[in-house]
Structure 1
Amino acid sequence: MTLRVRARPTWPELPAAVRGAVERALGSRVTSSESRAGGWSPGSADLVTTAGGRRAFVKTADARVNLETVAMHRREVEVLRLLAGGPAPRLLGVVDARPWFGLVVEAVDGRHPDPLAPSDTRLLLDAVGGLPVAPAGGPLRRIEDELADAAHGWRRLREDGVPLPDEVREHLPHLEALAARMPHALRGDSVVHGDLRVDNALVDPVGGGRLIDWPSAVVGARWLDAVTYLLDVRHLGGSIDGAMRHPVLRDVPAEDVDAWLSVLGAYFLDSARRPEPPGLAGIRDYQAAQGATVLSWLLERRRGY
């Protein structure tokens, strides 16, 4: 079992203007830093400590390397302002030193959950169950609008003649029908993280689950993040036996869960065949592997009915 790891620019490698903006946001000079390698962003990710002992987490990106990463950082700023803490870290400052952009958030003490430990999985599902209701008129899009195009991924794969395993091709009509249920199945009023994986989660020292990296947040059914988290646990070799009986999932209709898995499978496999974005080497192989994990879980569930 391994987490996603990639090389990033480290704190000493950032432009002086970027480091200066961070230090102004924190009110003191940064005296030490530790780079974090998990995740897919090509930008920096550093835990920093100031001369006054203040700790913070800093994420920055260069628009010349990957413009979408900068856009994601800007979206995350909006989300963190909306959440104002709770399951998410508090926003401490924004760095706008074009072409660089970034954010400074509170340092959350903790470790990434172990996908092989059912107790850690329970903690993260507990955290998902505590996600707040999204305020009316807020900046977040509804999930059925955000993923409307992704739900058509199966059709595109079929029409383009993309090679698929025989079992998948045999079930394509049913997979398309499941994905078409998305507007009804995924609708809700909760803030949804939208990209909850093991490397976007932490277990704090008092045994609480925390959710980090929020640029993909949407409004939808509260249980959606629980399924995507379990998908990653399964992908990383962990067991999800019993997890579907957690309170955040146990009353969710099986067809709704399957609709979500079908949308995810369509998204991953349709995306995996496209050219890699700048600065994100390996993302398409990862999406193909995630798509295979979705399909194995979904087909296993369907055979069990």
Structure 2
Amino acid sequence: MTTDNNAFTGSRRRPWHVLPSSVRAGIEEVLGGRVVGARSQPGGFSDGLAARLELADGRRAFAKAVDAGAAPGVAAFHRREAVVNGALPYGAPVPSLLGSYDDRGWVALVFEDVAGMLPVQPWREDELRRVLDALTGLSESLTPSPGLNCPDVSPRLGGWGRLADSPRSLAKLGVVAAGAARELDRHLALEAELPEAVAGETLTHGDLYPFNVLLTKEHVVVVDWPHAWTGPAYADLVMLLGSVALSGVDPERYAARHPLLRGVDPAAVDVLISAQAGFLLAAACGMDSADAGADPRLERPMTELGLASLRWLSLRGGR
């Protein structure tokens, strides 16, 4: 597999200078200084601004902003992320939220700048081990889940039932994932067990793929928290290991010795792996357009990630 970070980057970033002057002024008010430089950042798929900012006094920050009228779903994510980040405990490996701007037309979040880089894809052994080790500490810091002053969201898991109910999407599934289409009954049976499998008391990130991880010299920092939900401590680990399969590596050799999976029923892990693939393939087949957005570059990486999870599930062999 020859994926790279560019394969997991949206195509609709807006540069700083095209933002409305009121939005730029609002971000500068949060920062208490004038922005003199901005550099768009790779990773993720959302519309709008995602840039590292340099201020006249030498300080740096990271800002994301979106036009709520053009992308209401992304704006809702930004608003929820502000609430989630505000509730995360001090010391958690996440960027500090410095403030937000919301005029109901535009929503902007301003974070401390993290001097880090995305993990290299395909995964490098040393970087993967750093991230997997960090997930243990992350889950410990978020158990029990801190209270969030916002509605709960459903985990981004599951989709086999929706695929089965749509002849158009089911036909597309037969093209992009013929093996999954043949084993649909198995995945529907696993999906029926999802409510029990997602029970837990840990705040999980809910979208933990390489494009939401930054590596600094000393730390592993997890960014973009709008999809956080409360569930089992190992849920994020299972999600991340799906991307390991995308690199052509058997994730099971990491899963088998990871402390977060020690004593966990293998059947519950199978349910999560299948549900992860179901969500991704349902999105790729057009079922979740409101969630996935209209970026044409989404279909391929979602399909590849979904297929990677299915390869891992097959390698587990019904453990």
Q: Judge same fold: TM > 0.5, yes or no.
A: yes
Instruction: Measure the CA separation in 2 of the matches of 1:140 and 1:93.
Output: 17
Instruction: Measure the CA separation in 1 of the matches of 2:137 and 2:240.
Output: 15
Letter in 2 for 1:6: G
Instruction: Measure the CA separation in 2 of the matches of 1:140 and 1:237.
Output: 39
CA separation of 1:18/1:92 partners in 2, compared to 1, >3 Å: closer, same or farther? same
Which residues of 2 match residues 7-22 of structure 1 at below 5 A? 7=11, 8-22=13-27
Instruction: Measure the CA separation in 1 of the matches of 2:40 and 2:98.
Output: 19
- Residue matched to 2:275: 263
Instruction: Measure the CA separation in 2 of the matches of 1:125 and 1:252.
Output: 17
- Residue matched to 1:51: 56
- Residue matched to 2:298: 283
SS in 2 for 1:138: coil
1:210 to 221, 231, 236: 221
Which residues of 2 match residues 24-35 of structure 1 at below 5 A? 24-35=29-40
- Residue matched to 1:248: 260
CA separation of 1:82/1:279 partners in 2, compared to 1, >3 Å: closer, same or farther? same
Which residues of 2 match residues 1-305 of structure 1 at below 5 A? 1-3=3-5, 4-7=8-11, 8-85=13-90, 86-115=92-121, 116-131=123-138, 132-135=142-145, 137-139=147-149, 146-147=154-155, 151=158, 153-161=159-167, 162-163=170-171, 164=174, 167-206=179-218, 208-237=219-248, 240=251, 242-244=253-255, 245-274=257-286, 276-277=289-290, 279-302=294-317, 305=319
Q: Which runs of 5+ in 1 are unaligned?
A: none
Instruction: Measure the CA separation in 1 of the matches of 2:307 and 2:183.
Output: 14
SS in 2 for 1:295: helix
Instruction: Measure the CA separation in 1 of the matches of 2:178 and 2:48.
Output: 39
SS in 1 for 2:317: helix
TM-score normalized with structure 1 length: 0.89
The offset of 1:136, in angstroms, is 6.1
Contact 1:187 1:220 in 2 (8 A): yes
Letter in 2 for 1:2: D
The offset of 1:237, in angstroms, is 4.5
Contact 2:10 2:297 in 1 (8 A): no
The offset of 1:194, in angstroms, is 0.3
SS in 2 for 1:196: coil
The offset of 1:95, in angstroms, is 1.2
Mean CA deviation greater in 260-269 or 168-177: 168-177
CA separation of 1:280/1:170 partners in 2, compared to 1, >3 Å: closer, same or farther? closer
TM-score normalized with structure 2 length: 0.85
Mean CA deviation greater in 133-142 or 118-127: 133-142
Instruction: Measure the CA separation in 2 of the matches of 1:29 and 1:141.
Output: 35
Letter in 2 for 1:91: L
Per-residue deviation, residues 16-72 of structure 1 (Å, max 9, x unmatched): 111111111111111211111321001110101211222111000011221101000
> Number of residue pairs matched?
299
Contact 1:128 1:222 in 2 (8 A): no
Contact 1:233 1:240 in 2 (8 A): yes
Mean CA deviation greater in 19-28 or 262-271: 262-271
The offset of 1:251, in angstroms, is 3.2
CA separation of 1:95/1:166 partners in 2, compared to 1, >3 Å: closer, same or farther? closer
The offset of 1:170, in angstroms, is 4.0
Task: Give the superposed CA RMSD.
Answer: 2.3
SS in 1 for 2:260: coil
Per-residue deviation, residues 77-108 of structure 1 (Å, max 9, x unmatched): 00100005412111101011341101001111
Contact 1:141 1:219 in 2 (8 A): no
Letter in 1 for 2:274: S
Q: Percent identity?
A: 32
